[in-house]
Structure formats: C-alpha cells, structure tokens
Amino acid sequence: MPKLSIVLISDSKERELNYLRHLKKVLISELNADVTIIGSLSEIQRIYYLLSNLQPQVVIMSQVFEQSCQDLAQYVRNSCSQLVIIPCELRVSLAYKLLVENKSISLNDHLDWIFLPGDRLKVLFDKTNIEKRKMFITGSPKIDIGILQAKNSQLSKKKFCSINKIRARNKNVFFFTSFIQTSLDFLRQDKLYSNQMQYNIEFNKEVAVVSSIYESEILYFANHHPELNIVIKPHPLEKTNYRKLKQQAKNNNVYIIWGAIENFYQSIDLAVHWLSTVALECWINGIPVIEFFPGKYDELLPDFKAGHPVVRSAAELEKAIKKYLQQKLESKYLEVQKKYLKDVFFKTDGKSAYRIAKLLKQKLPTKITPHFSRRTSVTFTLFVWLEKAFGQVIPRRILSYIDRSYQVEYAINNLVFE
C-alpha cells in the first residue's frame, strides 16, 4: 500500500517554517507519511507546478482568504485531495476579525477541515458559514515549537551574551518591535479587503507615529541606563533601520538580534512590545512583559492587554521597567494570563501536532486518489527551464524587471522545498 502523501504550504519562512518542520516530523512518525514543505504563496504558479508533480492526498495551508488562495484551494479539492487549514494567526486581532467576518467569500466551499488553536478563534469562525463538523480545536503547532525548544534549549544567558557580544553581567530588556505598514496597493487588488481599507489607512498612520516614538524612547533609555542591555528584536518583515539607532547610543548598550524567539527565552529579563503575540510566548515561559502603547488608536490594543501592564508615556515606561526588573508581575495579571492562554491555545503541552495527526488518521477517507493536472503557463515553463539552468536567483531578478509588482526579495527569501 503506497504511503500517504502530504504537502505543507509555507508562505513566510520566518513565521511558519519552524513549526511546519515540527508538524512534518510528527506526521511522518504518526502517519508513516511522505511529507513535503513547499513555498511560497507569493509564487502561486510554482505551487501549482509542485503539486502536479507531488500528487499529494492532503494539502495543509494557513488561509483561504485571498483570491489566489481560494483558487488554489479549489484546485486542490477539484483534484480529489483533502484541503486542511491550520491558521498561522493565533489571536483575534481587529484586522483578522474583519478578514474572517467578510461575507464576500464562502469559506466552507474552500476547505475540508480547519484545525484551530483554541476557543477564541473557534468563536470567531463560528460566525462564518463553515460547517461545525469541519472545525476542530487542536492547539497550535506554532506554540508547540516554542514550548518544546524552550524545554530543550541549551542556549543559556551566558552563551547567548557571548555569541552576541552582550555584557553578561547586565540585565537584558528586550524590545520586540513590529512596525510593518500594510500595502494598500496589495489590498486594492482583492475585493476581500474592501471592508479593511479605512482601518489600514489609520493603522499605517499609527505605525509611523509609534515607530518614531519607540526609536526615540529606546535611545533615551539606553543613554540614561548604561547598567542595562537594550536588545531590539525586530519582526522579520520590519524594515526599520535600527543600526542607525545603535550607532547613536552613547553607552554601546544597544543590540540588534534576529532569529527565533525560542532561542532567547533564558536571556530575557523583561520584554517590552507593541501589539505583538511574542507577549503570549513570553507569558508561557514565565517572562514578565510590558506593553508600551504611546499611540491614540485604542482599538488596536490587543485582546490580551489585561494580562500585563500597559503604559502610555516614556515616564511610565521607565518606571515600569525599573519595577518589573526587581519584582514579578502582580497576581491579577497572572490570573488573566492563565485564563487567556487556555482560551486561545486550548493546551500548552507541546502536543498540538500529535492531535492534528490523530484527527487526520480518524477523518481521512480510506482511499484518496488525487489527479492534479498541469495548471501552469508557457511563461512559467520557460521560467522553470531558466531556474534549472541559472539557479533560483537570476530568473527571479529578470522577472522583477518584467513585472514591477513582483516582490522579488520576498519570493527569494521564502522559497521552500524540503
């Protein structure tokens, strides 16, 4: 009997690849399946090409909101393969709420099952037309990977500081920045986002304002507190030039780091963030968190705001940092954290991927015979030939000159086949 073939589609390496690798490992061990990770969705023709080569019985992706993803989902289902959604989003942000509640698409028509992290997202998706029999709460493989790697991490604070040339005797205050403006041109291309335009216009204005305040306050804090290490961990998609800020610091105590947060848990004495789900990962690992929210658009405040102090001004931030470097968060915050994590993630036991594997074993039909047909253009066939002849980068550089809307750097950085 041939092995079950599963394809996991990655869109962003930074956001998804680690947990997809973990899910792949579990699916191989639990289902004895052949599992391949491919990406990115920014090159949808490449996805069609790879699916027609691989002929998987199951395809797992993170969303079917955008038109290109709906078309891809229909291609999968029309090819007699099963389409499973595992959302990358973990909480009910305002933007995600607007996306899910948009009535212009029928989500039920584009998926066989959706595996949700917890009750909060389940309540949101209950408002859609997805049949109840297709929805299951499993927890989140994305959170699994942080929990498991934190348990097994050998990167002590001493080693972390040595690798990054950080003063080990000082306490580390991490600033998790996520100042990413939404592309309005991209949103205008898809009717799905028609109810989000005004929100995103206001959001982009807020990002610009708050980003500037953060840069100013980080520099001020670094210059007035030489006894602390100020560690900036930008969002992978953020383009702010923090190196300039580092050069302006008088005490040489500003550091910029990249990589997965689970490598740094043991080194974070205090975390400061703006609208970042990194806060939730810090909660799980017992790290004190402060949200510095200097803007005026209160609707942006995350639904987990009651789980840690929210400060509005530079003076409040400085006071809070001093306080929570010396003491733990008050019990009122910890009680909110415990309830919120249970609602959002169902369980934080590191076993979500196993629950997904168990559901697939139970729900998959006995026999699935996919028939993915070729759905690529002549132009893409030429592109494949060029890729074989010259590698992955050169053909994409050429394409970026032909098609100015093509996001060449994103495409190159997020290519996956493993």
pLDDT reported for residue 331: 95
pLDDT at 187: 67
> Which pLDDT score, from 0 to 100, does residue 154 have?
60
Establish if 188 belongs to a structural domain: yes
* Residue 144 covered by a domain: no
Q: Are residues 329 and 386 in the same domain?
A: no
Q: Give me the tens of pLDDT residue by residue for the chain, a chain 418 residues long.
A: 578 999 999 988 777 888 999 999 999 999 999 999 998 888 888 999 999 999 999 999 999 988 889 999 999 999 999 999 999 888 888 778 888 888 878 899 999 999 999 999 999 999 999 999 999 999 999 888 877 776 666 678 888 888 889 998 999 999 999 888 877 776 676 666 766 777 778 888 888 899 999 999 999 999 999 999 999 998 877 877 888 888 888 888 999 988 778 778 889 999 999 988 889 989 988 999 999 999 777 877 888 899 999 999 999 999 999 999 999 999 999 999 999 988 888 888 889 999 999 999 999 998 999 999 988 777 777 888 888 888 888 878 887 777 766 677 777 788 899 9
pLDDT at residue 388, as a whole number: 84
Q: Are residues 318 and 394 in the same domain?
A: no
Whether residue 249 is contained in a domain is answered as: yes
Residue 148 lies in a domain: no
Q: Are residues 173 and 76 in the same domain?
A: no
Rounded to whole angstroms, the Cα distance separating 82 from 59 reads 6
Residues 204, 335 within the same domain? yes
CATH code at 58? 3.40.50.2300
370 with 405, same domain: the answer is yes
Question: Based on the domain organization, do 191 and 331 belong to the same domain?
Answer: yes
Three-state DSSP class for 202?
helix
Asked if residue 205 belongs to a domain, the reply is yes
pLDDT for residue 194: 67
In single-letter form, the type of residue at position 36 comes to T
Place of tokens 């004495």: 269
Q: How many domains does the chain have?
A: 2
* Residues 228 and 100 placed together within one structural domain of the fold: no
Q: Which of 314, 345, 376 is the last residue of a domain?
A: 345
Q: Are residues 268 and 246 in the same domain?
A: yes
Please check whether residues 341 and 355 belong to one and the same domain. no
Residue 314 located in a structural domain: yes
pLDDT for the residue 82: 97
Tokens of 95: 């933007």
pLDDT at 86: 96
Nearest-CA neighbor of 292 among 260, 249, 324, 328? 324
Same domain, residue pair 59 and 116: yes
Domain boundary among 305, 330, 345: 345
Whole-angstrom Cα distance, residue 302 to residue 176?
A: 15
Residue type, 61: M
Residues in the chain: 418
Q: Could you tell me the CA-to-CA distances from 142 to 118, 240, 350 in Å, in that order?
A: 13, 25, 9
Q: Are residues 373 and 274 in the same domain?
A: no
Quick check: is 366 in a domain? yes
- Answer whether residue 149 is part of any domain: no
CATH of the domain at 164: 3.40.50.2000
Domain boundary pick from 345, 375, 402: 345
Q: Residue 170: its pLDDT value, please? A: 93
Please tell me the chain's helix, strand, coil percentages from 3-state DSSP, rounded to the nearest 5.
Answer: 50, 15, 35
Q: Are 337 and 359 contained in the same domain?
A: no
* Separation CA 108–CA 164 (nearest Å): 48
Domain of residue 379 covers: 5-139+348-417
What was the pLDDT predicted at 376? Answer: 76
